[in-house]
Amino acid sequence: MSSKTVGNGLASLGVFIFLYYSTWIFIVPFADSSHWVHGYFIDKVWAVRIPQALLAVGLFGILMLVLAVTICSKKQKIA
């Protein structure tokens, strides 16, 4: 697979996720609870939990990267 194909796929996925989440947050709450559109979206509580989990995982990853770089730089100074 070429990098252009992968890039287009990831960009399309990002646009889809953005549109799905925006619709879920900004449009669905104004629809009647018996409306058919509610069948395509998960419960509203996940609108907060998913970004919280992604933020926690992202911050943990950044912390681990900084920790790894710090440890490696200290090992190089000693040697």
| Interval 29-49: pLDDT, tens | 898 988 898 899 988 899 899
Q: How many structural domains does the chain have?
A: 2
pLDDT, averaged across the chain: 92
Residues 34 and 23 in one domain: yes
CA distances for 14 relative to 1, 37, 60, angstroms: 19, 21, 22
- Residue 10: give the domain boundaries: 1-41
Structure tokens, 23: 């619709």
pLDDT, position 21: 93
Residues 35 and 63 in one domain: no
Residues 59 and 71 in one domain: yes
> Is residue 79 scored above 70 in pLDDT?
no
| Of 10-19, 28-37, 69-78, the least confident | 69-78
Residues 35 and 64 in one domain: no
Residues 5 and 31 in one domain: yes
Q: Is 14 helix (H, G, I), strand (E, B) or coil?
A: helix
